[in-house]
Amino acid sequence: MTLKFWNRKTDPTPPKKKKSAAREWADAVMFAVVCATIIRWLTFEAFAIPSSSMEKSLLTGDYLFVSKLHYGSRTPLTPVQVPLTHQTIWGTNLPSFSDIVQLPYHRLPGFSEIKHNDPVVFNHPEETERPIDLKTNLIKRCVAVAGDTFEIRQGQVYLNGAPAQTDARLQFSYYLQTDGYVQEKFFKKQGITEVYPVQGGYYVHTLPETAEKLRSYDFIKDVVSLKAAPGQADPRVFPQAPATHAWNQDNYGPLYIPKAGATVAITPQTLPLYEKAIRIYEHNPDVTVKNGKLLQNGKELTRYTFKQNYYFMMGDNRHNSHDSRYWGFVPEEYVVGKAVLVWMSSDSTASFTNRIRWNRLFHTIN
């Protein structure tokens, strides 16, 4: 038997060492993580619906694919984070990111702009403790785009003075005055999943046509719409200035939605509407509000030209949705993508055998 030894002089290339099984597995996992991270960032990402704010169009327990290609993928703003996580490391409350490095906002070209009634996923504008791209993801319907003048009159949305086309699946709140106890299975048969017993009856969230149908039952004495009256100021509603803007969730505006390049006058009437956007969303740390005036480096601003587009988002479950009516505009910088497909849907309140909503699997979203 002849032994062959490596000779540096005659063969300058050393023999390759065979990778161990552990090393091969580690390389394969690393490659898969890198590919999944790039796909998740550039193309599609999976999300789950945790609440009922979009019923009946999107249900609690729906699992969605959200397209980042439609509006253009947003480049990472917080690059130092554990791959394939959002806010915390899986199964823990430990932060999965560090904000020691923050990159400027940039968005790749998309093949569509945000349109009226698009179901849009975006970062929660009210959160302050996390970087923009690590804020909680929300999904609502875009009811007004940049440049629109938005208004609600008795629950009907108006755009630029004309009634807007709305989804037929919008829900509102009603009070049902009843003779006594009504079984849960009755409400489920009517497609009503949100029922709250109160003295003399029930509060429910349902479609207007369902509310009308309920009037025909003998044990339901009355069905009362719970829409707020015009001029009935709700201090929770944006801009939280009831003295100058006596708005509520059903009677709101008119409100101009800022567009990139548009200039607005800053007056005592408009200051509550735009000061947050100018200071925070437009990244103007030198802008402050003092004595009812907007100041930049101590000098009063009477006009302001916006740097980016803004949007107004609302849930389809109009009386059970915390949305732009309460926290104002959504900046373009906060937009994640467009919801396009329900790939899975699970009803946690149903029995084990009926938990999967088979009719919603691979259901396109509109």
| Residues whose CB falls within 8 Å of the CB of residue 179, separated by 6 or more in sequence, listed in order | 219, 221
Quote the percentage of the chain above a pLDDT of 90.
81
- Residue 134 sits in the same domain as residue 204: no
| Residue 290 placed within a domain | yes
- Residue 40 sits in the same domain as residue 131: yes
- Residue 300 sits in the same domain as residue 315: no
| Residue 41 placed within a domain | yes
| Residue 10 placed within a domain | no
Structural domain count, the chain: 3
- Residue 142 sits in the same domain as residue 51: yes
CA distance 221 to 166: 30
What separation in angstroms does the CA of 35 have from each of 39, 42, 43, 76, 87? 6, 11, 12, 16, 20
pLDDT, one tens digit per residue, over 231-253 is: 999 999 999 999 999 999 999 99
- Residue 206 sits in the same domain as residue 277: no
pLDDT, one tens digit per residue, over 178-206 is: 999 999 999 999 999 999 999 999 999 99
Domain boundary among 252, 271, 305: 305
- Computed from CA positions of residues 197, 203, 205, 209, in that sequence, does the dihedral angle turn out positive or negative? positive
Q: What is the CATH number of the domain that holds 87?
A: 2.10.109.10
pLDDT, one tens digit per residue, over 322-349 is: 999 999 999 999 999 999 999 999 998 8
| Residue 277 placed within a domain | yes
- Residue 79 sits in the same domain as residue 177: no
pLDDT, one tens digit per residue, over 299-323 is: 999 999 999 999 999 999 999 999 9
| Residue 160 placed within a domain | no
- Model pTM? 0.90
- Residue 114 sits in the same domain as residue 100: yes
| Domain hosting residue 270, numbered range | 263-305
- Residue 47 sits in the same domain as residue 143: yes
- Residue 334 sits in the same domain as residue 295: no
* HEC profile of the chain: CCCCCCCCCCCCCCCCCCCCHHHHHHHHHHHHHHHHHHHHHHCEEEEECCCCCCCCCCCCCEEEEEECCCCCCECCCCCCECCCCCCECCCCCCECECCCCCCCCCECCCCCCCCCCCEEEEECCCCCCCCHHHCCEEEEEEEECCCCEEEEECCEEEECCEECCCCCCCEEEEEEEECCCCCHHHHHHCCCCEEEEECCEEEEEECHHHHHHHCCCCCEEEEEECCCCCCCCCCCCCCCCCCCCCCECCEEEEEECCCCCCEEECCCCCHHHHHHHHHHHCCCCCEEEECCEEEECCEECCEEECCCCEEEEECCECCCCCCHHHHCCEEHHHEEEEEEEEEEEECCCCCHHHCECHHHCCEECC
| Residue 8 placed within a domain | no
What is the model's pLDDT at position 226? 95
| Residue 299 placed within a domain | yes
pLDDT, one tens digit per residue, over 117-155 is: 999 999 999 999 999 999 999 999 999 999 999 999 999
- Residue 79 sits in the same domain as residue 142: yes
- Residue 28 sits in the same domain as residue 85: yes
- Asked, as a colleague might, if the bond just before 56 is cis with ω within 30 of 0, I would say yes
Mean pLDDT (the chain) is 92
| Residue 124 placed within a domain | yes
pLDDT, one tens digit per residue, over 344-363 is: 999 988 888 889 999 999 99
- Residue 219 sits in the same domain as residue 129: no
